Amino acid sequence: MELSKIVMRFADGRVLKGYTEDFIPDSPTFHFYKKDPKISSDPLEVLVEDLKGIFFVRDFQGNPKSREPKKIPEGMKLIGRKIEVTFKDKEVMVGSTLDYNPQRNGFFLFPMNRHSNNIMIFVVSQAVLNVRFL
């Protein structure tokens, strides 16, 4: 599989940045590397149920001043269904999804800002308080 840069946000508030090459949405676990696995071969097995979300990112620095919009601009075209996700910690994210099913481990959320550092977010269903289609 392809190597992905990820930021894992745990349900307990911890954050880890690194890489994965074997994340599968329906699998209960995947492997996480703090460094590129070509350099380090000491993976950590992660339980998806321990997470709030997995952020697939362009780079690890991001832009700390950047904020994701909380409303979808009128007339904006998105792929999939427009959705608002409220997490148990009260954080709200808005974007689009192709595969929301509350019975699964989670679903992918695509940010509205195409220039966002987040390419996509795997939202863990257990961490969600409410989902509303817009």
Digit-coded pLDDT (tens) for 109-133: 998 877 789 999 999 999 999 999 9
Structure tokens at 54: 């997995």
**pTM for the full model?**
0.89
Residue 26, classified by CB atoms within 10 Å of its CB into exposed (0-12), middle (13-18) or buried (19+), is exposed
What is the reported pLDDT for 61?
Answer: 86
How would you label 91-100 residue by residue, b for 16+ Cβ within 10 Å and e otherwise? Answer: eebbbbbeeb
Integer CA distances (angstroms), 15 to 44, 50, 76, 115, 122, in order: 14, 12, 31, 22, 15
Whether the CB-CB separation of 30 and 20 falls below 8 Å is answered with: yes
pLDDT tens sequence across 14-45: 999 999 999 999 999 999 998 877 777 789 99
What is the reported pLDDT for 71?
Answer: 65
What is the reported pLDDT for 79?
Answer: 80
Give the separation between CA 6 and CA 102, rounded to whole angstroms: 23
Whether the CB-CB separation of 128 and 86 falls below 8 Å is answered with: yes
Instruction: Specify which of 68-72, 103-107, 113-117 reaches the highest per-range mean pLDDT.
Output: 103-107
User: Domain range for residue 104?
Assistant: 4-60+68-133
Q: How many structural domains comprise the chain?
A: 1
For range 74-94, the mean pLDDT: 88
Give the separation between CA 56 and CA 122, rounded to whole angstroms: 8
- 66 has pLDDT over 70: no
Q: Look over the chain and give the mean of its residue pLDDT values, rounded to a whole number.
A: 89
